[in-house]
Chain A
Amino acid sequence: MHNFELVKPTSIEDAVAALKEEEAQPYSGGQTLLPTMKARLAAPTKLVSLLGIDELRYVRIEGDQVHVGGATTHATVARETKEAYPGLASLAARIGDPAVRNRGTIGGSLANNDPSACYPAAALGSGATIKTDRREIAADDFFEGMFMTALEEGEIVTGVTFPIPQAARYEKFIQPASRFPLTAVFVAKYDAGVRVAVTGASELGVFRWTEAEEALSKTFSADAVKDLKVDDADMISDLHGSGAYRAHLTKVMTARAVTALS
C-alpha cells in the first residue's frame, strides 16, 4: 500500500475542511476502501477518518422515521433499529460478517454505491433521504449508477432518514465466496404504495423495479409479480451468473419477500 497521511477530525466542519485538499479521501469503516488501497486500486495521499466524529454516530427513532448517523456501524444499526424498523435491522445484521459489521458504516456503503452492496437497496426501497454536510438528497436522486452517486468532491454523508414502512423484507441470494448479494431485493410496504429496490443485479447499480411496485401496490401477493418480465438488457453477466439468471432471481427474491410479508 502506498503511504498516506491519516487525519482524525472530531467535527464535521473540520472533516470538510480537511477534504478540501487535493487527493484527500473520506475514510469511514474502511471495509472496502482499505482492501482497495492494499490492491493499489486507490492511492489517496490523505485519508480523513470520519469515525472519530461523535455527531456522525447515532440511531434516533422519532415518530415514523429512523435517523441514522453517517458513521454508524452496521452492527449498531442492526441492534438499535430492531424494534422500530425490523426490515432495516435484518438487512444490516446480514451485511458481510460480524467483524465487518463492527467497522463498516452506512455512510460509507451509500457513498461507495457498490452495485452489490446491501444498504443502497434499503435506502432506495425505503425512499430514504440522504443528508450530507451541505444538503439533503432523496434516495431516488442519489444513486447514479455503479459506484456513482450525486455526492460532490469532498461531500460526506452525515446521516440517513428512513420513513418506517408498515412492513419490509430484504431477500438476499448470496454469492457464497464474496457473501455479497448475487441479487437481492428490498420490498417495503407504505401507506402510499409498495417500493421494490434491487441490488447486485444491474450494471447500472441499485434500481427500483417499478412494474412490480405498481402490481404489488394493487395486490400485495407473490402472484402479482408472477407474470411480470424483468428486462435483462442491463443485468450483470459474469462467471457467477448470466444476466438472464439475475433477472430471474430478481423476480424470485421479490416473490419470496412478498410471501414472507403476506
Chain B
Amino acid sequence: MNDIKMKVNGREVTGSVEGRTLLVEFLRNDLRLTGTHVGCDTSQCGACLVHVDGEVVKACSMFAAEADGREVTTIEGMANADGSLNTIQQAFQDHHGLQCGFCTPGMVMAATTLLRDNPKPSETDIREYLDGNICRCTGYHNIVKAIMAASGQEVDRAALAAE
C-alpha cells in the first residue's frame, strides 16, 4: 500500500492506496467526490477529466499514488465561493450545453484550461481542444456555444449551425 497526501479542491487529504488504485477511484470511492465520472474507463471519453497541478488529465489514466504531493481540482471545486455556478458552468446552463449531463464535468474541466490558455478561442479551437471529450447527447453545438459565451464572445448561431 502507498500512503498518499494531496490537496483536493484546496483541502489536504490523505489516504492509503494500492499501486493499481486509479486517481478517479480514489476521488470517487475514498473521498466520495462523485462528480468526476467514469464513462469509458479506456481513456477515450474525457468524462473523468480533473486538473492536476492546474493541467487537465484523465483521472482514469493516472494512478492515485502518482498524485501524491500534487494539487487536484475536480468539478466540485469549480463553483464560486458562494456556491453559485462559475462563468463556464453558468454558460453551459444558459446555452443548454448539456442534456444528460454525464460528460459535463469533463467538458467544464477542459473548457477551463482552454480559456485559461486561449481566452478568445475560435470555434475550431474549441472543437479541437475537445477532441478527447465525448458527448452523446448534444451533438456538441451547444457545448461550443456555451464555451464561446463563457469567453465573452458573440455566439453566432448561424455560423455554428453551418459547421
Contact = CB atoms under 8 A, between A and B. Distances in A.
A75 interface: yes
**Chain A interface size range:** 20 to 34
B103 to A, nearest CB: 13
Contact of B41 (A4, A38, A47, A103): A38
A100 B133 CA distance: 11
Contacts of A51: 66
Given A97-B132, A98-B129, A6 B63 contact: yes
Nearest to A100: B132
A100 B58 contact: yes
A167 to B, nearest CB: 23
A1 B19 CA distance: 10
A5 interface: yes
B43 A6 contact: no
A9 to B, nearest CB: 13
B110 interface: yes
Nearest to A39: B42
Interface stretch (A29-37, A53-61, A111-119): A29-37
A30 B64 CA distance: 13
B61 A31 contact: yes
B56 A99 contact: yes
Contacts of B65: 6, 8
Contacts of B43: 31, 34-35, 100
Interface string A1-34: 1111110100000000000000000000011001
A97 B131 contact: yes
B61 A96 contact: no
A6 B19 contact: yes
A47 B129 contact: no
A102 interface: yes
A98 B42 contact: no
A47 B57 CA distance: 20
Interface of A: 1-6, 8, 30-31, 34-35, 37-38, 47, 49, 51, 75, 96-100, 102-103, 179
